Structure 1
């Protein structure tokens, strides 16, 4: 199909970005990778410039990755993309929907309001309250509000000397004034990524720990593996992603001795886990989905 211009917002050279671009180019003959660090917004005209290309003239934009790491500035990039949307460009997923997921607290509040089971969580700026949370949980994970893949997270144990806990809480608080504190869950060495496209369930993969680290992320040595969930687990993940209205996402789920819990709904979803763990060509499926939406 020609004359259809679909750009991919992502990190040039990164596997997931380039794989999605390959799939789009194979279907349209058009390729354009957009690093938001190089984009300029002209509010007087509504133009969104990437080099000498006005992105607001495209038929569609797919947001594969908005920045290398999450931070408050990431929200500004999404706001810029809203101007292209206002001029008629279809954006996948909708920037407003993604905005609700970049901030960990926003995602958590939405999930809790939807009745989704999650780890017990305390959010506070008060260091004494944070110390009390550690005592209450026994083992607590301190998480930055803007982070992915367990970056910046730390585990504090109630059994540690109080002076050490106070020092570590103070150190975390210096970087993260609003402290997001979750009870450490028994993951039994794995957690799950449950993949959805347009709200439709596609498949599940597991992230399996290969070390004694507390998390299962690939960056910490975890490996992808197949997993077949039951209908109840699929229904839980479907319910978790529903309020956000994302075009493509992964729901992070853990199976604990007390039942399944949801950690988060991903703003962008993972292609590599879907491929290596579930055998899903997510980039191809996503490109087909977007092209159908743009041309219908």
Structure 2
């Protein structure tokens, strides 16, 4: 009889975090869902390779992992990142993988990965010194200044290439050690969030900025509504997720005269707004994708075992 599928949801907040709870419930409908605390994980290296302990289980006892909230309450983030890399190197199914997650978190890396893949995205720059930030603003023109890493619209502001703007980017570079600037793409107070899972668009919504505001973040008061996603938008969003090698992603786009432009790619996106707008729970799509990957891996592993057993008995 075929063994059940066990999916590990990596999170230190299984009860408090809305997304973790949704993923646990969705995974439990497809097999056994277990909570894995990131700070309880440990790894060792020996003659046989890398072994990863998940607290009460071993890595080999779990078919696939979802990094819902990959940093623990305690422990060391760098150690946790390295354990995820070790798991991936040993062949574990990890969704999303740590390198794509870090790439999506890093605004500048996201920009150059998108450009390299031919995905339309605004010109951008990163500078460490105040004078470099000022020169970048002059080159780009009106820009959006963002922290190099971050989300939810925190630390995001528009600046113009005037005296006030130059002073502001110099101040941000001096204060933060580095500053990321992205050329501002005009939009009529709204943008698109497209949710991509397994390379396919699963849902989309329009986000409307609050009155007097240009930022559309739902956490900042943005209003959402469902939208039928045009084929051109779907293609660009899916290409953006592929460029960053993300199993699932929230892709933010602006529609302009020349078509869709990717503003940002989120590797650990919220889908509360998508659920509110469309009634679609992206936890179900993610869990289905993880299940499919786990089943493919099991089929491949079983095939290898049969080949080795046949070769031995032959």
**What is the TM-score normalised by the length of structure 2?**
0.80
Q: Would you say how many aligned residue pairs link Structure 1 and Structure 2?
A: 287
Q: Which residue of 1 aligns with 2:58?
A: 54
Question: In the aligned structure 1, how far is the partner of 2:78 from the partner of 2:241?
Answer: 20
Deviation of 1:255 (Å) = 1.5
Task: State the Cα distance separating 1:147 from its structure 2 match.
Answer: 0.8
Paired with 1:243 and 1:30, the residues of 2 have a C-alpha distance of: 30
Q: Where does 1:160-175 land on structure 2 (aligned, <5 Å)?
A: 160-161=163-164, 165-166=166-167, 168-175=168-175
On the 8 A contact 2:8/2:65 being kept in 1, the answer is yes
Give the deviation of 1:3 after TM superposition: 3.7
Residue 113 (structure 1) shift: 1.0
Structure 1 residues without counterparts, runs of 5 or longer: none
C-alpha offsets along residues 30-59 of structure 1, whole Å, 9 cap, x if unaligned? 331x343x2343333634344434345311
Pick from 139, 143, 153 the counterpart of residue 142 of structure 2.
Answer: 139
SS of the aligned residue for 1:205 comes to strand
Choose 1 or 2 for highest CA Rg: 2
Whether the 8 Å contact between 1:133 and 1:140 is mirrored in structure 2 is no
TM-score by structure 1 length?
Answer: 0.85
CA deviations 1:96-146 (Å, max 9, x no partner) are: 333332222111111011222222222222322322333454532211211
Corresponding residue number in structure 2 for 1:81: 84
Q: Distance in 2 between matches of 1:91 and 1:133?
A: 37
1:225 CA displacement: 1.1
Partner of 1:245: 245
Q: Distance in 2 between matches of 1:113 and 1:85?
A: 25
Q: 1:263 & 1:35 partners in 2: Cα distance? A: 33
CA RMSD of aligned residues (A): 2.6
Write the mapping of 1:220-235 to structure 2, written as runs, cut at 5 A.
220-235=220-235
Q: Which residue of 2 aligns with 1:155?
A: 158
Q: Distance in 1 between matches of 2:142 and 2:222?
A: 21
1:84: how far off? Answer: 2.0
Give the deviation of 1:244 after TM superposition: 2.9
- Confirm or deny: 8 A CA contact 2:12 2:37 kept in the other structure: yes
Corresponding residue number in structure 2 for 1:219 = 219
Partner of 1:290, secondary structure, is helix
Is the CA contact (8 Å cut-off) linking 1:78 and 1:99 kept in structure 2?
Answer: no
Give the corresponding residue for 1:16: 19
